Chain A
Amino acid sequence: MIRFILLQNRQGKTRLAKYYVPLEESEKHKVEYEVHRLVVNRDPKHTNFVEFRTHKVIYRRYAGLFFSLCVDITDNELAYLESIHLFVEILDHFFSNVCELDLVFNFHKVYLILDEFILAGELQETSKRAIIERMGELEKVE
C-alpha cells in the first residue's frame, strides 16, 4: 500500500503531498524534508529505491522534479516505479508537455488527477485514456 506520495522540486519545495495514512502536520513536514534529503543527491545510476524508516521510498526524477512514493517493505518496487511513470505520462498528456509551473498553478487539478489514479493508497485505474476522459467529464460538470 502507498503511504504517501510526494512531488518535490530540487530545492525541496513540495508541489504535491498526498498522505494515505494519518500523520501529524509537523510529522508531515519532517517526512517531506527527510525524503527530499534522501533522494536529491542520489547518483542517477543508483537504484530508485531507498529505505526510509520502516518503509521504502520509490522515487523517480523528471527534470527538476522528484516523484516519491512511500510503500510497504514487501511491495513490488518495480511496479511502483512503473506507476510513477504512468502518472507522469497522464500529467504530460493532460497539460500537454507538463512543466513544474503547470503543477504550481494548477495544483488542485493535479490532486484531482491523482484522485482518479490512486485511491486509499492503491491503484485505481491503469488506463491513461480512461483518466484523461474522466477529467474531461469532470470539467464538463463544473
Chain B
Amino acid sequence: MQSSIMNTFSSGTRLRDMIRAIRACKTAAEERAVVRKECAAIRASINENDQDYMHRNLAKLMFIHMLGYPTHFGQMECLKLIASPGFPEKRIGYLGLMLLLDERQEVLMLVTNSLKQDLNHINQYIVGLALCALGNICSAEMARDLAPEVERLLQFRDPNIRKKAALCSIRIIKKVPDLAENFINPAIALLREKHHGVLITGVQLCTDLCKISTEALELVRKKCTDGLVRTLRDLANSPYSPEYDIAGITDPFLHIRLLKLLRVLGEGDADASDSMNDILAQVATKTESNKVAGNAILYECVQTIMSIEDNGGLRVLAINILGRFLSNRDNNIRYVALNMLMKAVTFDAQAVQRHRATILECVKDSDASIRKRALELVYVLVNETNVKPLAKELIDYLKVSDHDFRGDLTAKICSIVAKFSPEKIWYIDQMLKVISEAGNFVKDEVWHALIVVISNASELHGYTVRALYRAFQTSAEQEILVRVTVWCIGEYGDMLVNNVGMLDIEDSITVTESDAVDVVEIAIKRHASDLTTKAMALVALLKLSSRFLSCTERIREIIVPFKGNFVLELQQRSIEFNSIVARHQNIRSTLVERMPVLDEATFVGRRAGSLPGAASTTTATSVSLPNGVAKPVAPLVDLLDLSSDDAPAPSSSGGDLLHDLLGVDLSLPSQQSGAGQSSNSGTDVLLDLLSIGTPSAPSSSSTVNILSSNASIEAPVSPLDDLSSLSISSRTTSNAGAAPVMDLLDGFSLSPPTENNGPVHPSITAFESSHVRLTFDFSKEPGNPQTTIVQATFINLSSETYTDFVFQAAVPKFLQLHLDPASSNTLPAAGNGSITQNLKVTNSQHGKKSLIMRVRIAYKINGKDSLEEGQISNFPRGL
C-alpha cells in the first residue's frame, strides 16, 4: 500500500531521504543548512521546468513549510500541478494549494478555472479533490463562480461526492449568504439519504442554511421536522452496527447533528417543539451514560430541550441529567454540566440553586477550565438571600487560590459584594477582607467606591479605621489596603486613637497617636509603595499634623526628605506641606478639615450601579488630567485641593519674582460657582494679589475661606510666600458644594482688586455650534502688554455628556501660544458644568495685529468621536 504511494514521488525515496536528513540534524543550524540546500535544488528544478520531479519537489516543500521555513516560491508550482492531467499530480497540487496558500492570496484567483474544470471532470476522484480544496480554502469570489457546479454535485451519483459537495456548500453560503436560497431544495433532498456520511453532511448543511436564511428555516421546519424525528428514532433504536458503533451507540455523531438541527427547528415554534418531545424524552432517558459518546449525546439533547419551546417535564429531565453530570467523577462531564447550568439558570434558577454547594466546590477545583466555568455560574447564582454565605465561601477560598485565578476571583467577589450587600457594615467588612487578601488585584474603581461608601457611613468611621489599622498590621504588603488605610487614618485618625464610635462587636484597641503615624510612615517609606500611595500618605501626614499635635514635629521630619524626591509631584507636595506644617499652625486645622462627604448619588450615576445602594465620589476625583496629561495621583488626594501639577504661573514683572522665588503654580478655579463673581475676576484678583502683595481685607481663619485669610493675615510681609506654598488647582465640578476649593477661592473674590492693570477686555463667545459653546475671558499680565491670558470656558449645549474632551488651538507665526492643561476632560451635558482651560498668547506684533486663532474641539459622545473646528477672529482689539 505504501509503496504505491511512494511511486508518486517518482524515482524513489528522495522525500524520505530529505526527511531523514533533516531528522538527523543535531542543531538548528544544521537543519537550516539542509533545508537551504534542498530549497536551492528545488528552485533550480523549478527553473528548469523539470516536470518529472515537480510533485516530488512540492511534497518536499510542504514538509519544509511545516517546519516553518518560507516556501512561497513553490506557490506557482501548485497551480501548474493542479492544471496537469494526472490524478497523482493533481493530488499533490491540491494538497500544496491548501497548505501553502489560503483564500487571501491573489494567486488563488488563478486556480478558479482549474477548479471549475476539475469539478466537471469525468473522473470522480478528481472531482473529489477539487471539492475538498474548494471546501477548505474557498473565497467569496470563488464561491460565486463555482456555486452552480457544487449545487449540481449535491445530486451526484457517488455518495462520496455528495457529502463533499454538501460541506462545500456550507463554506459557500457562509462566504456568500445570498447564495443560500439556491441550496435549500437540494439540501432538503439530502435529509432523506440513508448513507450516514451524506446524511450527516446534509443535516449540517441544513442547520447552517437555517441559521442564515429564515426562508430555509421555515421550509425545513415545515417539510422535514417529522422526517428528522423519524430518522433520529430509527437511529436511536437501530440494532448494533459495527461500522458506526462507538461504545455501544450507533453513530453518536449523527445523533448529535440531528439533535442540533431539531434544536434550530424547535426554537420559537411550539408545533415543531411538540413533535420532537417524545424522541427527546427517549434519548434523554435511554442513552447510556457511562462513556463519552453517550454523554455527548445527552449533553446535546439537554441543550435542545432547553432551547425549544417549554415543556416542563422535559426540562425537569434535562436538569436531572445535568445534576448527574455535575456529580460525575470525570472532569470533562462536570465541565459541560457547568456550561449548561449557566443556560438553565435563565428558566429554572431554583433547580440550579439546589446544586449550589457542588458548584461552589467546583470553584475550588484544581483545573482552571472548571474553576472558570464554576465561578461564572456562582456569579449568576448570587442573590440577596444567599450573598452572605456565598461571599464568605469565595473570600475564604481567595486565601488559598492560585495566583492566576485571583484576579478573576477578586473581581467577581467585589462585584457580588457591591451588588447585593444588605448593609454598609457588611460591605465594608467584606471589602476589607478582600483588600487584605488580594488587594493587589483590586481595580481602582473598586477601592475608590469603597472609600466613597466609608465616607458616607459616618457612624462606621471609627469602626472602619480601627479595622483597617488591624488589617494593616498583618497585610501591609497589599498596596490597595495600604492606600485605603492611609486615607482613613488621615481622615479619621483621631477616631482611631480615641476609640470613637465603638460598636458592640468590636474589641477596643489602644493606639497612640504615634502608632497611627507609624502606619503612614511605613506606607510612605515602604519600598513597594507607588507614587499614588506615597502621595496619599503625604496628604494623610498633613492631615495628621493638625489632628495629632504631639506628632507634628515628627511628621515634618517624615515630610521633609521628600523635598528632594525625583518625582515632581512628591517633591512639590512635600515642600508645600512642610511649609504649612511649619508656619501656618493657625490655619492648618481648617485647611485640613475632614473631607466633605463624597456624594454617592453622582458616583452611582457615573458608575452605573456597580456599587451598593448609594456610593459616590466627587467629580473631583478624576485620575487623569485632560488633554492627555496623565496625573499619577490618587484622585482622592486631589480632594484636598493641594495638588501641584498645574501649569507654570503666568509671568510678569511682579509675577516673575514670585515665580522665580517660589516656583509657584497657580491655576484657577475652573468654575466659579460661588459668589456670583464675574468669571475672570478671580483670576485678576489672584494675580494682582500675588504680584503686588496688597493686603486684602483681614478675615478670621475660622471660615473655610482660608486662602484669603491666609494671604491677608501675614501681609504685607510675605503674602506671596504664603500663598505660593499652596498651589491651587481645582477641577471642574458639576457639584460645586463638594469641593472646598471653590469656597477658598471665592474668598478671593470678596476682596476687591486694588489695582487694575490696563484696560479690561470684554469676554467673547469665541465659538459656538449646536453642541458646544466656547467663551474667552481675557486678562493681561501686568507690565507685559504683549501677553494675554485667555481663560477658555467650554459649555456643553447638548444633552449628552462628552468624554475625552480635547481642545487644540493654532495661531499664526507672529503669535506664541501656550496651553495649560484643561480642568477636566469630561464635559457634563446641558450646561451642567464646564471645562476651563487657560491659554497664554504672546503677540509679537502687539498694537499692530489682532489675535487670531484656529481651534479644534474633539470629544466623544457615548464613545463615538466627534470633531469641531473653527476660526476665531473676533478677539477684542488691543490684545
Contact = CB atoms under 8 A, between A and B. Distances in A.
Q: Do A and B associate with each other?
A: yes
B125 A137 contact: yes
Main secondary structure of the interface of B (DSSP, over half): helix
A80 B336 CA distance: 13
Interface string A94-116: 00000000001111110110010
Contact of B167 (A22, A124, A141): A124
B253 A77 contact: no
B8 interface: yes
B75 interface: no
Point out which of B92, B333, B367 has the most chain A C-beta atoms below 10 A from its C-beta: B367
A43 to B, nearest CB: 7
A82 B293 contact: yes
B102 interface: yes
A5 to B, nearest CB: 11
B4 A139 contact: yes
A30 B141 CA distance: 28
A53 interface: no
Interface in A104-141: 104-109, 111-112, 115, 119-120, 122-130, 134, 136-141
A141 B197 contact: no
A63 interface: no
Contacts of B132: 115, 119
B95 A112 contact: yes
Contacts of A9: none
Contact of A130 (B103, B125, B137, B197): B197
Q: How large is the interface on A (under 10, 10 to 19, 20 to 34, 35 or more residues)?
A: 35 or more
A23 B102 contact: yes
Contact of B7 (A20, A85, A119, A142): A142
A63 B48 CA distance: 44
Contacts, number: 162
Contacts of B244: 126-127
A43 B252 CA distance: 28
Interface string A1-28: 0000000000000111111101100000
A105 B95 CA distance: 16
A137 B129 CA distance: 13
Contacts of B678: none
Contacts of B92: 108
Given A46-B369, A108-B92, A76 B19 contact: no
Interface of A: 14-20, 22-23, 29, 43, 45-51, 76-79, 81-83, 85-86, 104-109, 111-112, 115, 119-120, 122-130, 134, 136-142
Contact of A77 (B167, B196, B201, B332): B332
Nearest to B104: A22
A64 B495 CA distance: 65
A138 B127 CA distance: 12
A23 B137 CA distance: 11
Given A14-B66, A48-B332, A22 B125 contact: no
A82 B1 CA distance: 28
A111 to B, nearest CB: 6
B135 to A, nearest CB: 4
A119 B168 contact: yes
Contacts of B339: 77
B331 A82 contact: no
B168 A76 contact: no
Contacts of B293: 78, 82
B63 interface: yes
7 contacts: A49-B335, A82-B292, A122-B167, A124-B197, A130-B197, A137-B125, A138-B125
B152 to A, nearest CB: 18
A107 B251 CA distance: 28
A77 B164 contact: no
A82 B253 contact: yes
Given A76-B296, A78-B293, A112-B95, 7 more contacts: A18-B136, A20-B136, A23-B102, A79-B256, A108-B92, A115-B136, A127-B243
Interface in B356-405: 366-370, 372
Contacts of B137: 22
Contacts of B4: 139-140, 142
B489 interface: no
A14 B65 CA distance: 11
B526 interface: no
B299 A107 contact: no
Contact of B168 (A20, A120, A139): A120
Contact of B197 (A14, A76, A127, A142): A127
B125 A124 contact: no
A78 to B, nearest CB: 3
